[in-house]
Structures are given as structure tokens and as C-alpha cells.
Amino acid sequence: MRLAVVPGDGIGPEVVAEGLKVLGAVAPDIEATPYDLGAARWQRTGELLPDSVLEELRGHDAILLGAVGDPSVPAGILERGLLLKLRFELDHHVNLRPARLFDGVRSPLAEPGAIDMLCIREGTEGPYVGNGGVLRRDTPHEVATEVSLNTAFGVERVVRYAFERALARPRRHLTLIHKTNVLTHAGSLWSRTVEELSTEFPEVTVAYSHVDAAAMYFITDPGRYDVIVTDNLFGDIVTDVAAAVTGGIGLAASGNLDVSGTNPSMFEPVHGSAPDIAGTGVADPTATVLSVGLLLDHLGRPELAKKVNAAVAFDLSTRDPKATIRTTEVGDRLAALA
Ligand code: NAI
Ligand code: MG
């Protein structure tokens, strides 16, 4: 098993070190190779993702990423030139974001109830493809377009994956989130696809929420959701709400998957490089460790993923909520528990 590791910037290297500690405890056979990408490399060399590095990354079984970004880099450079480029080049069409409220974790909701959702966001289409342009810039007549791209192929593969995941869970429930009443062209493609595939998965019950209603239900009644499938933009937004109600950015894990297995999938905490706390040793590495769990599951080692998740669950249920988190101590505890 060959793992490419991109520690990145800010707290990225700090949390990745702990993720690798836990990974080493359960899977000592995995060989990790570090890659220097991110704001620091761009500052030093002007390079974002050289073709030669991309080719090397393709030769690995998976990628673990910390976070990239720094206040000194103008917005959009790393997002488009590195993160989105990786997603598109490696065909990461499924963005997997579980949101589970662990015992012992305080939700900002007064009565959260049980929350255990698996959000599946399309990763390579929608309004994120760069399909647009600007005319008459900086004039009163400026025109800007950002066209959402939805293909039958792209929608089918992500919806099929969502059905498969729903089928493997106890509740077997899948909700499509969209805005089919207003975005009727793309909305129709998404809802027809769900309808058609539902005949192949008769055991899975299907529901639908408009995205604005979903934003409300994520706060008022998150327990109604099991597996969710949605487009790139809606998924970006609602998964942040899901993360917030299940304990926040320090716990939110994600995977960017090429389900076909042609390209390596990439696993990363949802949070960024947190320059405000970088170097102080207080970043919570749990989101990265949970991402390592997703990675192990994806690489066909579910028994090891279970160990990692159980270690996190135990640690969270026994944490003193008032104590300051020390990054390396959390990693040590999780590695010992796993
Ligand atoms: P951020 O997620 O880095 O930080 C938001 C807030 O959450 C900060 O107060 C931070 O201290 C806190 N936080 C984040 N991770 C934490 C952790 N593990 N433990 C405890 N507290 C944590 O988002 P922000 O500030 O908007 O972005 C900072 C930089 O990160 C920017 O350059 C941005 O572009 C980049 N970024 C990179 C991402 C990636 O690499 N996938 C994703 C999001 C942002
Ligand atoms: Mg986001």
C-alpha cells in the first residue's frame, strides 16, 4: 500500500503527523511518501501542481492531505490551481462527508437527537467547473456567467454510489437535496436519475428536500437524514452545516473519491490551514484521524477503519470538554487506543 502525503501549510503538517501516527499503529505496512505542495511551495518557486508531481501522485493507492493556504496567497490561486485541479485531474467525483454526533461531543443544538448522516456531494460538475466568463469587466455593463454543468453520466455515477452506500447502512434511506422547483433543468436530471435508479435498489427508501428546507432541517431535525446525495455547490454548503451541528470543524472528515479506482482517492480534514492557531499545538487532529478511517475503508481495510473510529469514539466520550486540546497528546491517545 503506497500512500502519498501532502501535509501542506499551517496546521496541516501538525494534524497530518498525528493522522500518520494512528495509521502507523493500525497499518504499519503502509508506505508513506511526503509531497511538498501548497502556499509555502508556491511562495518559494511559483509552482502549484507541476505535471511531474501529478504523475507521481497517480502512482499511489491514496493521498492524505492536511490543508493548504496562507493569508499571503491571493484567494483562488491554491483553490483553483491545486485543490480543484487535483479533484478534476484525479476525477474525484464523490466528495464523501460523514457527519455523526459522537457521544460526549457538544452540539450547538439544544436538542440534537441522534445524528448520523453520510453526505455524498458530487465533486466534478455543477457550478465548479469554471464554465463561464466575464465581459466588459470593471464597467457598469460588466457581465459574469458561472454556468452549472450537469451530465447524465456524472449524475448517474454519484447517485448510484449513494444508493450503494445507503443499502449498506441500517436505515437504508437516501435523500436527494436540490432545488428542483427553480433549477428545473438540472433538477429534473437529478430527480429522474434518482427515480430510475431506485428501481434497482428497492430496499432503499427515497426522500427529497429542497436545499433551503434542508438547511433548516439540518438544524431543527437532522435525525431525519441518513445518506444524502446532492450537487457540488449545495453539497459544499450543507456539509458545513452538518459539520457545525455535529461538533465542528475539528471533527469533520472527508474523502474525495474516484469510485472507479482508476485514480488515487484523496482524504483530508474539511478544515483549512488555520493560520490563527498554527504552531501553537492546539489544533484538533481528530478530523484527520477520522479521514484516515475513511482512507482505510476505501482501501479495503474496513476492520482497521473500525479500530480507528472506535478509538476516536472512545476518546471523545472521555474527553474533558473544558481542557485545552494538545495536538500530539490526542494523537498519542488515539494511536494507543487503536
Ligand atoms: P480554517 O478551517 O483554516 O479555520 C477556521 C477556524 O477554525 C479558525 O478559527 C481555526 O483556528 C479553526 N480550526 C480549523 N481547524 C481546526 C482544528 N483542527 N482544531 C481546532 N480549530 C480549528 O478556515 P479559514 O480560516 O477560512 O482558512 C484558512 C486558510 O485555509 C485559508 O488560506 C483557506 O484558503 C485555507 N483552506 C484550505 C482548505 C483545504 O486545504 N482543503 C479548506 C478550507 C480553507
Ligand atoms: Mg466548504
Average pLDDT over residues 287-311: 97
Query: 80-129, pLDDT tens digit by residue?
Result: 899 989 999 999 999 999 999 999 999 999 999 999 999 999 999 999 99
* Boundary residue ending a domain (221, 246, 271): 246
Does residue 290 share a domain with residue 161?
Answer: no
* Boundary residue ending a domain (186, 219, 246): 246
Q: Report residue 333: phi and psi, to 5°.
A: -60, -45
Does residue 138 share a domain with residue 17?
Answer: no
Q: How far is CA 206 from CA 6, 162, 219, 224, 247, in A?
A: 38, 11, 21, 12, 27
Q: What is the span of the domain harbouring residue 215?
A: 107-246
Among 273, 280, 282, 329, which is best to mutate for testing ligand 1, by the most ligand atoms less than 8 A from CB? Answer: 273
The pLDDT assigned to 64 comes to 98
Return d(Cα 147, Cα 206) in angstroms, integer: 28
| Ligand 1 binding pocket, CB closer than 6 Å | 11, 15, 67-70, 83, 249-250, 268, 271-277, 283-284, 287
Q: 279 is written with which cell numbers? A: 504552531
The pLDDT assigned to 207 comes to 98
The pLDDT assigned to 79 comes to 86
Q: Would the pLDDT of 44 be above 90?
A: yes
The pLDDT assigned to 322 comes to 86
pLDDT band at 72 (very low <50, low <70, confident <90, very high): very high
* Boundary residue ending a domain (246, 267, 293): 246
Does residue 259 share a domain with residue 138?
Answer: no
The pLDDT assigned to 321 comes to 80
Does residue 283 share a domain with residue 238?
Answer: no
Does residue 159 share a domain with residue 213?
Answer: yes
Does residue 320 share a domain with residue 231?
Answer: no
Question: Taking the complete model, does pTM exceed 0.80, yes or no?
Answer: yes
Interacting residues of 26 by C-beta distance below 8 A, sequence separation 6+: 296, 304, 307, 308, 338
Return d(Cα 64, Cα 256) in angstroms, integer: 10
Known active-site residue 217: no
Query: 237-293, pLDDT tens digit by residue?
Result: 999 999 999 999 999 999 999 999 999 999 999 999 999 999 999 999 999 999 999
Which amino acid residue places its CA nearest to atom 38 of ligand 1? 272
Cα angle 166, 172, 176 (rounded to 5 degrees) comes to: 60
Does residue 114 share a domain with residue 96?
Answer: no
Does residue 286 share a domain with residue 212?
Answer: no
Does residue 261 share a domain with residue 230?
Answer: no
Known active-site residue 240: yes
Atom nearest to 276 CA in ligand 1: 11
**Distance in Å from the first CA to the final CA of the chain:** 19
Interacting residues of 207 by C-beta distance below 8 A, sequence separation 6+: 173, 174, 175, 176, 224
pLDDT band at 139 (very low <50, low <70, confident <90, very high): very high
Atom nearest to 287 CA in ligand 1: 18
Among 72, 249, 270, 324, which is best to mutate for testing ligand 1, by the most ligand atoms less than 8 A from CB? Answer: 249
Nearest to 287 by CA among 79, 102, 92: 102
Return d(Cα 273, Cα 53) in angstroms, integer: 21
Atom nearest to 268 CA in ligand 1: 41
Q: Find the CATH number of the domain harbouring 241.
A: 3.40.718.10
The pLDDT assigned to 187 comes to 98
Does residue 236 share a domain with residue 173?
Answer: yes
Does residue 256 share a domain with residue 173?
Answer: no
Does residue 112 share a domain with residue 197?
Answer: yes
For residue 74, give the DSSP letter. Answer: P
* 225 Cα distance to chain centroid: 18
The pLDDT assigned to 47 comes to 96
- The number of distinct structural domains making up the chain is 2
The pLDDT assigned to 111 comes to 92
- Residue numbers in the known binding site for Mg(2+) are 212, 236, 240
